[in-house]
Amino acid sequence: MESLNYANLLRYAVDITLVTYLIYKLILLIRGTRAVQLLRGILVIVMTWLVSKYFELKTLHWLMSQAFTFGVLALVIIFQPELRRALEQLGRGKLFSRSHSTDDEETVQRVVQDVAKSVTYMAKRRIGALIVLERETGLNDYVETGIQIQGKVTSELLINIFIPNTPLHDGAVIIRKDALLAAGCYLPLSENSSISKELGTRHRAAIGMSEVSDGLSIVVSEETGQVSITYNGDITRNLTEEDLTRILLEQLNPQQSKSMGSRLQWRRKHG
């Protein structure tokens, strides 16, 4: 009897471990998409259903029950891109592969330096550009609308992408850490009526991206050469190279922004 109990406990432990690991990998899979926000919405519905049941709010409980009835079909439709990506990775044996790579001081500093250098070059020559740096909110849905690059971020690559009359000139470049994921990406345009009429499509796309994610969007105006940055739904315009560098360092790595900023200035003076 005792050996049977130990066998059951071992089976339960293995079962729970496997399910936990599977859930963990699924969370990693959807972390780079808007599915995270959708899951939060589903959690609100579940909590509302529980509250309505506990307090016997019959009408509200009935509405939430109807939402559950059609919820499975809705989830399949809503999460279709994520389900497709999961099946593709499962077929390639990549679903359970270990994902790694973390931001470090040198990576952030190098990316900021390359982005600021390329933006300054394009601003002086009035070459229009739109560069998005991903942070916590994943931007895979927008990456898929562009041309895959999957290259290392360099100022030369960024400049070449936005040279006028080239295939990738229109649209946005999306950067994740030190990788340039895609170019020619389509971004959501802001519908904010308070935006200045003098701002064009690039600026509206940058503001729109900052409204749906925590990414940093940098815009170079083709008409004026003015550099702007958007985040948290706000836009800051007419930036110098030093202003842009400081903001990027503060937003990408606030704790180390001071030390990185001083090192970056030292490199410019002596490098």
The domain boundary residue, chosen from 92, 116, 139: 92
d(CA 97, CA 7): 30
| Number of domains making up the chain | 2
pLDDT tens digits, the chain, 271 residues: what are they? 556 577 888 888 888 998 898 888 777 666 656 666 677 777 888 899 899 988 989 898 888 888 877 776 777 776 666 666 566 556 656 555 544 444 478 899 999 999 999 999 999 999 999 999 998 888 988 999 999 999 999 999 999 999 998 888 899 999 999 999 999 999 999 988 888 888 999 999 999 999 888 899 999 999 999 999 999 889 999 999 999 999 999 998 755 544 544 554 544 444 4
Q: What is the CATH number of the domain that holds 187?
A: 3.40.1700.10
d(CA 78, CA 71): 10
Query: Within a domain: residue 99?
Result: no
Query: Within a domain: residue 100?
Result: no
Tokens found for residue 103 = 């931001």
Identify the three-state secondary structure at position 38: helix
Query: Within a domain: residue 44?
Result: yes
Query: Within a domain: residue 164?
Result: yes
Please give the model's pTM, rounded to 2 decimal places: 0.63
pLDDT at 138: 81
Tell me, yes or no, whether 218 and 86 share the same domain: no
Identify the three-state secondary structure at position 220: strand
What one-letter code names the amino acid at 105? E
Tell me, yes or no, whether 114 and 72 share the same domain: no
Tell me, yes or no, whether 47 and 128 share the same domain: no
Contact 119/206 with Cβ under 8 angstroms?
Answer: no
CB atoms within 10 A of CB 162: 24
Tell me, yes or no, whether 152 and 54 share the same domain: no
CA–CA–CA angle 184, 187, 191 (5° rounding): 145
Length of the chain: 271
Identify the three-state secondary structure at position 250: helix
pLDDT at 162: 96
Closest-CA residue to 180 (of 132, 231, 228, 108):
132
pLDDT in tens, 10-42: 888 888 998 898 888 777 666 656 666 677 777
What one-letter code names the amino acid at 97? S
Burial letters 172-202, b for 16+ CB under 10 A, else e: bbbbbbbbbbbbbbebebbeeeeeeeebeeb
Tell me how far CA of residue 144 lies from CA of 136, 157, 167, 182, in angstroms.
18, 20, 16, 8
Tokens found for residue 271 = 């490098």
Tell me how far CA of residue 46 lies from CA of 43, 74, 94, 126, 271, in angstroms.
5, 15, 32, 51, 57
Long-range contacts of 38-41 (CB under 8 A, 24+ apart): 38/78, 38/79
pLDDT in tens, 191-227: 888 888 889 999 999 999 998 888 999 999 999 999 9
Tell me how far CA of residue 143 lies from CA of 57, 105, 179, 205, in angstroms.
43, 25, 12, 14
Q: Which domain holds residue 57?
A: 2-92
Tell me, yes or no, whether 20 and 139 share the same domain: no
First to last CA, the chain: 75
pLDDT at 221: 95
Tell me, yes or no, whether 71 and 118 share the same domain: no
Cross-sheet strand order for the sheet of 172-176: 147-152, 179-185, 172-176, 129-133, 216-220, 227-231, 234-236
Tokens found for residue 236 = 């800051």
Query: Within a domain: residue 98?
Result: no
